[in-house]
Amino acid sequence: MRLGAFLYPTGYHVAAWRHPEVPADAGVDIGHYAELARTAERGKLDFLFLPDSSAMRGGDTAELSRTAIRYVAQFEPLTLLGALAGVTERIGLTATISATYNEPYHSARMLASLDHISRGRAGWNLVTSQNPYEAYNFGLPEHPEHGVRYARAQEFAQVVKGLWDTWSDDAWVRDKAAGRFFDPAGVRPLDHHGEHFSVRGPLNMPRCPQGHPVTLQAGSSDTGRDLAAATADVVFTAQHSREQALAFTEDVRARAEKLGRDPEGVKVLAGVFPFVGRTRAEAEEKVERLQDLIDPQVGLGLLSSELGHADLDGSDLDGPLPDIPVSNSGRSRRDLLVRMAREEGLTVRQLYKRVAGSRGHWQVVGTPESVADELADWFHSGAVDGFIVMPPYLPGGLEDFVDLVVPELRRRGLFRTEYTGTTLRDHLGLARPGR
Amino acid sequence: MRLGAFLYPTGYHVAAWRHPEVPADAGVDIGHYAELARTAERGKLDFLFLPDSSAMRGGDTAELSRTAIRYVAQFEPLTLLGALAGVTERIGLTATISATYNEPYHSARMLASLDHISRGRAGWNLVTSQNPYEAYNFGLPEHPEHGVRYARAQEFAQVVKGLWDTWSDDAWVRDKAAGRFFDPAGVRPLDHHGEHFSVRGPLNMPRCPQGHPVTLQAGSSDTGRDLAAATADVVFTAQHSREQALAFTEDVRARAEKLGRDPEGVKVLAGVFPFVGRTRAEAEEKVERLQDLIDPQVGLGLLSSELGHADLDGSDLDGPLPDIPVSNSGRSRRDLLVRMAREEGLTVRQLYKRVAGSRGHWQVVGTPESVADELADWFHSGAVDGFIVMPPYLPGGLEDFVDLVVPELRRRGLFRTEYTGTTLRDHLGLARPGR
Ligand SMILES: Cc1cc2nc3c(=O)[nH]c(=O)nc-3n(C[C@H](O)[C@H](O)[C@H](O)COP(=O)(O)O)c2cc1C
Ligand SMILES: Cc1cc2nc3c(=O)[nH]c(=O)nc-3n(C[C@H](O)[C@H](O)[C@H](O)COP(=O)(O)O)c2cc1C
């Protein structure tokens, strides 16, 4: 089983930053991240995963000021991973990079640099940016359209990987006596001329330890799956049921095969949002503790956007959901939530609590044994190759997973007790592309 | 006296990589850099300085393959400084960033991130790119013209600093009880709309420990000095004589004052290329050892590039320097070299030997006492505030400086024995910009 650790600074739950055991300045506390990295490495996890955005996500400052999950305050991931490379030895280090707002030459170079610095532990999560507010920080009047972003991302990945392939593995002879630093036969330019990029290359850096740092991808639309099938070593997906996960995995693998790739070279990992306690009651207490910290204004804001930006101002939090008009931003999610509220007789507060917690990812609550049961079930069914663990709050949620669930997975022979390789490709069972 | 350590991977001398004691793979050996960083910190130096370019510098692969100083093989500096932040405690960490081929939002964010990671030790060397080959890696048909690059750099610095100022120091209240993560009154957008950039902001990161990471600048043309005067906390300059250095310093300070800045807030550091031995003979032996390793093909290529990529093919190596037209690369270097060749009656071969060694920087050769004498002389005359030490080869050249020259400077009361502050601004005696 493959396991990654998703590190949103204070944790994935919307109210994590208010938890008494969570450092509220986690996003800019290097000591906090060093501790998380060491904890994940102690658990022999495959990699750390850093989500990212190059702008605060939202336009209403008053609303943003009440939440820590809108990319308001966190390290830039590549500089952070440079630092974490120095405090870890084996764990993989992966950073989210947006193809929409970056230059492929810089990204290829920084990732190759990180791969050298970490001696083969670098990876990247290639995204097209879910946050439209990034556009304004890069001189664009608006976020490019979905299809344009994905077309650019396809070309971006092609250029980045092409640059990594500009040097052969044996080009660097460094022959002091002959005065030959590298062998000219081992280098070729890229000479890419595409719709979005023109990049001559070569990369001004020797081929990196992994050949190619590991590529993760998280698109789930049709176009997104095509990008994953074409470019990804690892696909990160949000799924709610084993059956849906299995269908997703089969679909992505089939697309990869159609492109001539070995489907086994595409690992699928599902996000899991776990609450673990020594007893089930303890685990549920952990859920409630966080749920109770959700700021009504933040909860209402989240619920409103899920309901198609419905106006919920002034509604009674402990009364029933008022009538929600149909908006033009899609009605399936609105209908589902309205029906759920009506059928279960949920109050507004109860409904936003449902929405605010896992935000689309699979929530599991229980004992180490029951959580391991659920993970094992998905894994054994072939639905996924593993999980990206999204601790609700940090560092506690990660410690719970590493200290309680991982030993249980080991007892079942599902997870490593020691790293057997040195690179992230080794950990994931991915071949190293040579040249 | 302020001292920085200039870390070209194998050392600044063109033949350093061929030196028997130099690791030829230094550019991608994190252990090598960690050792250099610790050595410089043991010497209590103010900062590490990383030169940079986003392309190999040259178009002739056969020629490039015989040298290690054309940015062919080295870490990307921001990821590297992230890693070095973790193995050091006090020393400043500065990276070269080109305004010509970067987005100010990304640069501001990465530098602020590095400042948080290192707890106030970050700085950047703002350049306009001396290497025209970068253009082809970023979709441009050619390197933009000198004046355009400088205009963009002025605006780039304005945007970067503006982004650093989008948050007040006290905005981050992180009040868990009240659910207020930050105070909306402490943030403002940038809303920059200029000729080269449109950037809304704010930066999605709290104000960094130094307020503004330290800005270094190394332009020496008229336009370059204007940029330095407007933006730099530290000016890095190549000077050959105390008098020229003094004139340069007075000129840059006068320009800064004209812009309403405190001239004392602009520190001027000259590059120094030192060979130090226990005896003068030992120091000269170190020079000869490296000069003997210069490949003639490399020497000529280097001279051409220092002259703005002048065509020197077919010129008589033992004849005088032919006429060199002014090019679009930096012109100050070209002017200096042409004048030097004319005044001293140097042949092409003699000139490339001069150039290949210190490449325009001030070379000092001698005992710890004589080197300290020379540095003290420049310093006491007010010509400079200190030096950027460019060790000819690494790690040996840096160890020589730290173990032989620094103690001599201390004996004279010219250099610190311990760090008295924790940030790079503290080390340099620069005030922290508040907001
Ligand atoms: C699990 C997961 C994690 C993601 N992480 C990020 C992220 O850190 N930053 C970002 O800008 N987008 C992120 N995305 C957004 C996707 O890359 C993609 O842009 C978005 O899902 C829209 O594409 P789609 O329509 O194909 O789903 C993530 C998506 C998923 C499903
Ligand atoms: C001491 C010194 C160090 C420099 N370091 C770099 C560097 O690392 N990368 C780069 O692209 N340019 C570097 N430059 C180039 C300058 O930033 C500038 O682009 C160049 O000198 C041309 O400008 P000028 O005509 O004002 O001198 C350096 C220049 C000097 C004098």
The minimum-distance atom of ligand 2 relative to the CA of B149 is: 19
Residue A192, domain extent: 2-279+363-428
Q: How far is B210 from chain A (nearest CA, A)?
A: 14
- Note the Cα A359 to chain centre separation in Å: 14
| Protein residues whose CB sits closer than 6 Å to any atom of ligand 2 | B 51-53, 96, 98, 127-131, 218-221, 224, 236, 238, 271, 330-332
| Residues on chain A touching B81 (C-beta within 8 angstroms) | 79, 82
Q: Are strands B2-6 and B386-389 parallel, antiparallel or unpaired?
A: parallel
Q: Is the pLDDT of residue A267 over 60?
A: yes
Whether residues B103 and A138 touch (CB distance < 8 A) is answered with: yes
Which residues does chain B have within 8 Å of residue A172's beta carbon, measured at their own beta carbons? 25, 73
Q: How far is the CA of B134 from the centre of ligand 1 (A)?
A: 31
Mean pLDDT of chain A: 95
pLDDT at B353: 86
pLDDT tens digits, B351-400: 988 888 887 789 999 999 999 999 999 999 999 999 999 999 999 999 99
Q: CB A86 to CB B87 under 8 A?
A: yes
If one counts the domains in chain B, the total is 1
Interface test with A, best of B76, B80, B183 (most A CBs within 10 A): B76
A107 touches chain B (CB under 8 A): no
From B235, B197, B237, B229, select the one nearest B214 (Cα to Cα): B235
Nearest CA in chain B to A108: B76
The model's pLDDT over B122-181, given as tens digits with 9 standing for 90+, comes to: 999 999 999 999 999 999 999 999 999 999 999 999 999 999 999 999 999 999 999 999
Nearest atom within ligand 2 for CA of residue B271 = 1
Query: pLDDT category, A28, cuts 50, 70, 90?
Result: very high
| A311, part of any domain | no
Distance A152 CA to ligand 1 centre (A): 15
Domain for residue A153, yes or no? Answer: yes
CA distances from B353 to A49, B291, B318, B369, B394 (A): 50, 8, 12, 27, 20
Number of the ligand closest to the Cα of B268: 2
DSSP code of residue A211? B
Confidence of residue A329 (pLDDT cuts 50, 70, 90): low
Question: Is there a domain that residue A324 lies in?
Answer: no
CA distance A142 to chain B (A): 12
What's the whole-model pTM score?
0.95
Confidence (pLDDT) at B326? 83
Q: What is the pLDDT of residue A302?
A: 87
User: CA A381 → CA A4, A248, A283, distances in Å?
Assistant: 20, 13, 26
b/e per residue A325-361 (b: at least 16 CB within 10 A): eeeeeeeeebeebbeebeeeebbbbbbbbbbbbbbeb
For residue A331, is pLDDT > 80? no
Residue B333: per-residue pLDDT = 81
Question: Residue A231 maps to which CATH number?
Answer: 3.20.20.30
Tell me what the pLDDT averaged over chain B comes to: 95
Whether B424 is in a domain gets the answer yes
pLDDT at A326: 80
* Interval A111-122 mean pLDDT: 98
Whether residue A102 lies inside any domain: the answer is yes
Residue to test with chain B: of A29, A70, A137, most B Cβ within 10 A: A137
Contact A357, A299 (CB under 8 A): no
Q: Tens digits of per-residue pLDDT, A373-411?
A: 999 999 999 999 999 999 999 999 999 999 999 999 999
Q: In this predicted model, what pLDDT tens digit does every residue of A272-327 receive, in sequence order?
A: 999 999 999 999 999 999 999 999 999 998 898 888 878 898 899 999 999 998 87
B127 Cα–ligand 2 center, Å: 6
Residue B233 has a pLDDT of 98
The residues with which B364 forms a beta bridge, in sequence order, are: B274
pLDDT in the model for residue B194? 98
d(CA B302, CA B66): 11
**Which of B71, B176, B200 is facing A136, going by the closest CB pair?**
B200
Q: What is the reported pLDDT for A220?
A: 85
Kindly state whether residue B435 falls inside one of the protein's structural domains: no
Cα distance between residue B270 and residue A66, in whole Å? 49
Residue B59 has pLDDT above 70, yes or no: yes
pLDDT of residue B257: 98
Q: Report the pLDDT value the prediction gives residue B329, as an integer from 0 to 100.
A: 67
Helices (H), A259-367: 280-291, 296-306, 332-344, 348-356
Tens of pLDDT, residues A209-252: 999 999 999 988 999 999 999 999 999 999 989 999 999 999 99
What average pLDDT does the segment B67-88 reach?
Answer: 96
**What angle do the packed helices A104-117 and A146-164 form, to 10 degrees?**
50
User: CA A223, CA B12: separation in Å to the nearest integer?
Assistant: 49
Q: Is B66 in the A-facing interface, judged by CB distances under 8 Å?
A: yes
Is residue A288 in some structural domain? no
Q: What's the confidence (pLDDT) of residue A328? A: 64
In a domain, residue A41? The reply is: yes
In this prediction, residue A355 carries a pLDDT of: 86
Q: Report which of residues B185 and A313 the model is more confident about.
A: B185
How would residue A10 be classed by pLDDT, with cut points 50, 70 and 90?
very high
Atom of ligand 2 nearest to the CA of B223: 26
In this structure, which ligand is nearest to the CA of A229? 1
CB contacts of A73 in chain B (<8 Å) are: 172, 181-182, 204-206
Coil, strand or helix: which one is B60?
coil
CB contact under 8 A, B197 and A139: yes
To test the ligand 2 pocket, which listed residue (B12, B127, B216) has its Cβ within 8 A of the most ligand atoms? B127
What confidence score (pLDDT) does residue A330 get?
A: 59
Please state the separation of Cα B53 from the chain's center in Å: 12
Tokens of residue A342, six digits: 């009506």
